Amino acid sequence: MRINALKKSKGYAQAPSKSRAPSSEPRERNCSVGRTVDLLGDSWTFMILRECLFGARRFESFQSVLGLPRGTLATRLKKLTSQGLLRQVQYSDRPVRSEYRLTKMGMDLYPVFLSFLRFGDDWESGRKGPPLQLTHLECGAECKPEVSCSHCRQAVTISRVSYRDGPGAGTSPLERTGRRRRPSDPTRIEQSRPCSVARTLRIIGDYWSFMVMREGFFGVTRFDEIQSNIGIAPNILTDRLNRLVRDDVFERRKYQDAPERFEYRFTAKGRDLYQPMIAMLRWGDKWFSREEPPLLLTHLDCKHDFDPVVVCDKCREPLHARGMKYVMRYPDPLKGKK
């Protein structure tokens, strides 16, 4: 496949080219972010994985903290197990009972969670400040996670990254599923544990919101183009854009008077979501597209292709779950329930 030359724009990189489908079936661009979001499904799936990282193992622990109906929780756990993110380990013979452990694939989501946490700390903490104090054990310093270039280890921003088609670029048939709805009450995901990850997901925690923002990072700003690119129903797109404007992720700018038409541009807050997006892209590339990533990223500061890596802002070394210590600034709802 031909590789496009690098192209830059004012704060946005040029959208990669899309292969024309020989048939009229709906198609969507190949995207590791899309594959990651489609796999994880919704905010509740993220929250179950979050509880695993906090040490939850058993069904009752998840149910007690998250408050999910038992049938819904059972369905989510079964799905995560079948997808390879969790594994079951039997701990009782009579009756037979099992607990859930993160696999290597699931544990590798830890940097993605840290990128969500950093965004929530920066933009959604309010006067009380971040719910967790993080310490990097390798350097002993309190740290803030940063999504950085794997080559120079410096933080990356949307305006300093360009990209081109990778070997996995192109389009695939558009899959229409019933699991792409927002939770009916997004505030419930933070009901028992103040959490910057949950606060981030409260803003962008569903498939379509992620996809709308992805198009924004590709430089697509107008309603009709977004709708065409991701195959979303007009009423759903209107709802997601209104929510993202309300949450100060996008701002509306009029570009036509008769009839009135608007384009949607990222605010400073919205641009900061670029870091969680490319952290998800790295995870999706690793587990779904290792040999044929759809996009290749170039850091314009060091002029090298790179993988997004989440590092300590003090020593610039990559962060891993076993190398971190955290102090909760609230009572632990899992205490005595693991």
107-175+186-328 CATH choice from 1.10.10.10, 1.10.3720.10, 3.30.420.40, 1.10.3680.10:
1.10.10.10
Task: Please report, for the chain, the start and end positions of each structural domain, with discontinuous segments joined by +.
Answer: 107-175+186-328
**Distance of alpha carbon 154 from the chain centroid:** 21
141-142/261-266 β-pairing: unpaired
DSSP character at residue 4: P
pLDDT for position 11: 38
- Give the per-residue pLDDT at 180: 56
Q: Could you tell me if residue 250 is left (phi over 0), alpha (psi between -120 and 50 degrees) or otherwise beta?
A: beta
What is the block-wise mean pLDDT of the chain (338 residues), using blocks of 10 residues? 36 44 66 86 86 93 91 94 95 90 96 96 90 96 97 96 94 64 61 85 86 94 94 95 96 94 97 96 92 94 98 97 91 70
Q: What is the pLDDT of residue 22?
A: 46
Kind and range of the H or E run holding 78: helix 70-82
In this prediction, residue 29 carries a pLDDT of 83
What does DSSP assign to residue 127?
G
What percentage of residues in the chain have a pLDDT greater than 70? 86
pLDDT at 14: 44
